[in-house]
Structures are given as structure tokens and as C-alpha cells.
Amino acid sequence: MGDKRVGVAISDPYWIVVTPYRTFENDDRIFEKIANLIEEFGIKKVIVGLPLTLSGEEGTQAKKTREFAKNLQNFINVPIEFVDERFTTDMAQELLKTKKRKYQKDKEKKDSIAAAFILESFINQTR
């Protein structure tokens, strides 16, 4: 969850395939957009990337993220879990460097790819 955008990825019900889905503007309708997505896809759990510091501690952005999740929980009826999101944006940027030039600076695509890395990380931790 960023101050400007929220990248979204989804997985199949069996947690086999993770797909970067889209990026939402983080505006006054963000919770409604996420709630609609949960209903549309029958999502059973929301995974939120927690931006820890390099030393693994929670800083200012992590506190904002926890507050965001707390407010989101008022709009949805599925559990929210957190996973360390360190380096996922860098990983997404590196992946985009291998793609066509038109995608390399696409911030929206980068955010949804980072969300896919976050979701994959969660899935791998639970297996």
C-alpha cells in the first residue's frame, strides 16, 4: 500500500498461480474498490505488504499500512494478514527491465507486480 497507489495481485483458490491484477489509486474510494474486488472474485483473505525497514523494524510507513488495514477491515468480511514487503518494488522494477521499453517506467504495472511478489511470499511462507 502506497500513499498514491495500491497494487493488487490475485491467486487462484488453490494458491498455485499468482497474477498481477491491477493498481488502484489510493483515494477516498479505495476501501470500496477493494471490497468490490473481494466480492467479485470471492476472495477469502487479503494479504497486505508491510514495509519494514532494512533492519526488519516497523517505521512510519509500516504504521500507516497497519492503520490502512485497520480501516479496510471495517469494509470487508475477510481476514487481513501481513507479510514483509521489503525489496518487492525493486524486484518488480528488475522484472520490468526485461520487458519492452514501454513497460519499464510503468508505475501501475510495477505496483501490481510487486503485489504479486508479496502474495507469492505469503503463499510460500504458509506451505
CB-side neighbour CA atoms (13 Å) of 4? 3
Overall number of domains in the chain: 1
Domain carrying residue 27: 5-126
pLDDT in tens, the chain (127 residues): 778 999 999 999 999 999 999 999 999 999 999 999 999 999 999 999 999 988 999 999 999 999 999 999 999 999 999 999 887 877 787 777 777 655 545 667 889 999 998 999 999 999 8
Looking up residue 24, the CATH number of its domain turns out to be 3.30.420.140
Closest CA to 8 of 98, 93, 110, 127: 110
Q: 106 — alpha (psi -120 to 50), left (phi > 0) or beta?
A: beta
